[in-house]
Structures are given as structure tokens and as C-alpha cells.
Chain A
Amino acid sequence: NAGVMQNPRHLVRRRGQEARLRCSPMKGHSHVYWYRQLPEEGLKFMVYLQKENIIDESGMPKERFSAEFPKEGPSILRIQQVVRGDSAAYFCASSPGSDNSPLHFGNGTRLTVT
């Protein structure tokens, strides 16, 4: 399967724990986006990364949230000290970076904070 792979599909964390969400982009894609989606809502932009660089993190809370896309390995979205309001579906998408290229999405990680 050469698509975008996200894991885990479901993640349950207690308040105060850390959540780590992983995303492996499509082969050949060096651009990764992370979005957050609440039930019955659209996708809210969080962060845009290229290999080893954060290009735009304007949609990501400055506290507790961080993202990386290392030279080797998947992109990671990390949420420290999770709170109930962090419960949502988090989607990763990759693209080759050319003009108007489609975003290829993974099937998301559903985070539940208890």
C-alpha cells in the first residue's frame, strides 16, 4: 500500500499524558500537512512541514503541541499533557509540493482523552 499511513488509528489517553501521532507520507512526497477535525465539522489546518523544516505552524497551539518531519522516518505530531478538549480526529496529508497538487490523506488518528 503506497498511500499515506497513519498510526495508531485509535488512541486513548488520560488527562496529563502524552499523545504521539505518526504519519508516513506517500512515497516521493516531501510535504506533510496535519489537520484536526471535530465531529460534523471541516478540517482545521494545524501545521505544514517539509523534510526537516516547519514551514507554517500558525494553526497549532503554541503550548503542548509540536510537530516534526525528520530526514528519516515518519512525521510526528506530539501533544503533551493532553486535555479533554484535545479529543478529535487528526489527519495527515502529503503532497509532492507542485502547484495545485492534490493532498493525499491518511485515515486519521482518533484521539480520545478520558
Chain B
Amino acid sequence: TQLLEQSPQFLSIQEGENLTVYCNSSSVFSSLQWYRQEPGEGPVLLVTVVTGGEVKKLKRLTFQFGDARKDSSLHITAAQPGDTGLYLCAGIETYKYIFGTGTRLKVLA
């Protein structure tokens, strides 16, 4: 069974701080996606990373795919209250999207 463990599980920080969320697996994935989910809504895609070692930036968010394509990280610079939400990584292998355990982020004003 493929498992994706995310850490930390919960994170509460002040506005303006930086943070990193990790997504780790013992399995290799062909690609990996990050989603953000807000209360009462479905997850929304943030980014897809495909190549081992790939780094993608989306404004204040930086995503990295590990060289071995087993892990990924999400770094947020100068967090804002609008970044609050549940962050989910999803490993993709053929048609299967395996979601991680989630990191719930709360950014305090």
C-alpha cells in the first residue's frame, strides 16, 4: 500500500513567518501534486511537479520534488492569513491519486 506521510500535521504561526511542509513516501511516484482545501470546500490544485529535483514557484509558495521522486516539500514565505487551510500532497501513479495525511495550517494576523 502506498502511503504519503505529511509533517507537521498541524501548524499555527504568526503572519509574516516562513514555514515548510513535508510530504514523504517510501514509494516512487511519476508525479506529485499539492492541493489546498478550505473548510466546507473541496481541495483545489496548487501545482504539479513531474521531474525529480524540480522546483516550482507560485508567488510566495515554493514546491520541490525530491530527486528520487519519493518526497516533496512546500515552503511558504511571509505567510498571510489567507494561506490558512489544509494542505494535501497527492502522489500520482498511472490513474491513481494517493493523498497524503494533510497539514492543517493556521496563520494568525
Contact = CB atoms under 8 A, between A and B. Distances in A.
Contacts, number: 59
Contacts of B96: 45, 48, 56
B51 to A, nearest CB: 11
B42 to A, nearest CB: 3
Interface of B: 4, 6, 30-31, 33, 35, 40-45, 48, 50, 88, 90, 92, 95-102, 104
B42 A107 contact: yes
A108 B42 contact: yes
Given A48-B96, A108-B42, A43 B31 contact: no
Contact of A43 (B30, B45, B92, B99): B99
Tier of interface size on chain A:
20 to 34
A93 B95 contact: no
